[in-house]
Amino acid sequence: MYEFTEFFAMGMAFLGAGIAVLTGIGPGIGQGYAAGKAVEAIGRQPEAAGTIRTTMIIGQALAETTGLYGLLVAIFLIFVNGL
Amino acid sequence: MFSFWTELSSGLRASVLITTALAIVFVIVGARVSKLKTSDAPGGITLIFVMIVEFINENQREYFSKYWRVFTPLLFTIFIYLAFANTAALWGLSAPLSNLNVALSFSLFAFGTIQISALIIKKPWGRMKDLMDPNPAFLPLNVIGEISTPFAMGLRLFGNLVSGSIIAVLVYAVLGWLGVFIGPALHAVFDIFFGVVQAYVYYMLLTIFLSMAVEE
Residues of B in contact with A73 (CB under 8 A): none
Q: Is B163 in the A-facing interface, judged by CB distances under 8 Å?
A: yes
For residue A83, the model assigns a pLDDT of: 58
For residue A11, the model assigns a pLDDT of: 86
Helix (H, G, I), strand (E, B) or coil at B117: helix
**What average pLDDT does the segment A19-42 reach?**
93
CA distance A82 to chain B (A): 17
Q: Is B156 in the A-facing interface, judged by CB distances under 8 Å?
A: yes
> Following DSSP, what letter does each residue of B119-183 receive, concatenated?
HHHHHHHHHHHHHT-S-GGGHHHHHHHHHHHHHHHHHHHHHHHHHHHHHHHHHHHHHGGGHHHHH
- ipTM (interface predicted TM): 0.73
CA A16 to each of CA B20, B73, B158: distance values in angstroms, whole numbers, following the listed order: 42, 45, 21
CA distance B195 to chain A (A): 11
- Rounded to two decimals, what is the model's pTM? 0.85
Contact (CB<8Å) A62/B201: yes
In angstroms, the CA B77 to CA B203 distance is 10
Contact (CB<8Å) A69/B201: no
CATH number of A19-77: 1.20.20.10
pLDDT digits (tens, 9 = 90+) for B157-181: 898 888 888 888 888 888 888 888 8
For residue A18, the model assigns a pLDDT of: 92
DSSP label at B191? Answer: I
Q: Considering only CA atoms, which of B192, B97, B189, B114 is closest in space to residue B148?
A: B114
Residues of A in contact with B153 (CB under 8 A): none
In angstroms, the CA B60 to CA B170 distance is 40
pLDDT digits (tens, 9 = 90+) for B58-107: 988 888 888 888 889 999 999 999 999 988 888 888 888 888 888 999 99
Contact (CB<8Å) A64/B156: yes
**What average pLDDT does the segment B6-10 reach?**
82
Contact (CB<8Å) B158/A72: yes
Q: Which of A64-73, B34-43, B164-173 is predicted with the least confidence, judged by mean pLDDT?
A: B34-43
Residue type, B17: L
Does the pLDDT at position A14 exceed 60?
yes
pLDDT digits (tens, 9 = 90+) for B127-160: 888 888 778 888 888 889 889 889 988 988 898 8
